[in-house]
């Protein structure tokens, strides 16, 4: 019987997601529907569905957008070729790229201008990775430490590394170690590429995994940071499951558990989390909130929709 639900913070929307969601909201208010959005604004089906109902039209590529229309670029960022296509079609662009992703794009361009080969640690096919790979010719993607041996680099003394923002330290560090072993002169950004929200949510998750019987991570299957939270909980020895909403909860996961821990990925709306919490509260569980870390990061809106 579940006696206690521990809801940990920080969880849910990060500053980049808040900015991206507000960008679409402001675009709909300022320009009126339809507003086109390239790819999912954030990786959460609930957010996408709500905006679609409000007049946002989600497209895969800009060829689906009429000439001169309003288009929002997602938080994951885009390659320069996408910006060029937007200019060709005279689109009014609202750029909701997360500032932390934009930082990585600038790093790639800086390293290439210095004549360095750039290695990106990330997951193939992720929208952020696609955008970063497109920033400059010749950026190499490495997904695992075993991939490092296969890299062909013209000058081993001129190699730099950047990482996908939504990976965890446990994903990145073994790969960086291998890169540094093979390329001792490896250059890296002064500040970590893994975003503050990913680090904070994984730190909070580590505490949660030590204090409950089972962990529920509420987030979309397409959300990289949500998937990493599940992996991090399991690495701590806690049973952990990713659910998109209350409908995905399986009672068998709770057998023998007294305390359930709940957290959510950076793109998950809090009302979806509260639906899960309310379910347990209705069963008689006591709900306790625990704040593992303080978080107070904010980002300004894109100038196209700023007041």
Of 199, 203, 198, the residue nearest 219 (C-alpha)? 198
The vertex-112 CA angle with 109 and 118, nearest 5°, equals: 100
Active site residue 128: yes
The one catalytic residue among 61, 128, 143, 173: 128
Strands of the chain, DSSP E = 4-9, 35-38, 56-59, 70-73, 92-95, 117-121, 140-142, 159-163, 214-218, 240-243, 259-264, 286-291
CA distance 218 to 12: 9
CA distance 3 to 59: 45
End-to-end CA distance of the chain: 51
* Tokens, residue 56: 């946002």
Say which DSSP state 301 is in: P
Say which residues have a Cβ less than 8 Å from residue 216's Cβ, sequence separation at least 6: 240, 241, 243, 249, 253, 260, 261, 262, 263, 276
Q: Is 150 exposed, middle or buried (0-12, 13-18, 19+ CB in 10 A)?
A: exposed
CA distance 146 to 294: 36
Catalytic residues: 128
């Amino acid at each position: 019987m579940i006696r206690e639900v521990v809801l940990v913070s920080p969880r849910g929307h990060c500053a980049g997601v808040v900015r991206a969601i507000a960008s679409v909201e402001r675009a709909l208010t300022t320009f009126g529907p339809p507003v086109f959005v390239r790819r999912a604004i954030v990786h959460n089906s609930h957010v996408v569905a709500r905006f679609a109902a409000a007049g946002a039209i989600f497209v895969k590529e800009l060829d689906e957008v009429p000439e001169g229309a309003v288009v929002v670029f997602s938080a994951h960022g885009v390659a320069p070729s996408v910006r060029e296509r937007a200019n060709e079609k005279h689109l009014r662009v609202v750029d909701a790229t997360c500032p932390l992703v934009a930082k990585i794009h600038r790093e790639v361009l800086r390293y290439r201008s210095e004549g360095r080969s750039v290695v990106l640690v990330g997951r193939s096919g992720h929208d952020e990775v696609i955008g970063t790979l497109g920033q400059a010719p010749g950026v190499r993607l490495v997904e695992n430490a075993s991939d490092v041996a296969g890299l062909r680099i013209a000058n081993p003394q001129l190699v730099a590394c950047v990482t996908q923002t939504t990976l965890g330290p446990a994903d990145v560090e073994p790969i960086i170690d291998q890169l540094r072993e093979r390329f001792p002169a490896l250059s890296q950004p002064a500040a970590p590429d893994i975003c503050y929200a990913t680090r904070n949510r994984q730190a909070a998750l580590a505490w949660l995994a030590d204090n409950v019987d089972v962990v529920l991570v509420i987030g979309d299957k397409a959300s990289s940071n949500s998937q990493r939270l599940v992996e991090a909980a399991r690495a701590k020895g806690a049973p952990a499951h990713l659910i998109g909403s209350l409908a995905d909860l399986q009672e068998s996961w709770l057998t023998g558990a007294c305390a359930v821990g709940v957290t959510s990925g950076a793109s998950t709306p809090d009302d979806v989390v509260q639906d899960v919490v309310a379910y347990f509260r209705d069963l008689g569980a006591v709900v306790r909130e625990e704040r593992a870390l303080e978080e107070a990061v904010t980002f300004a809106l894109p100038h196209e929709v700023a007041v």
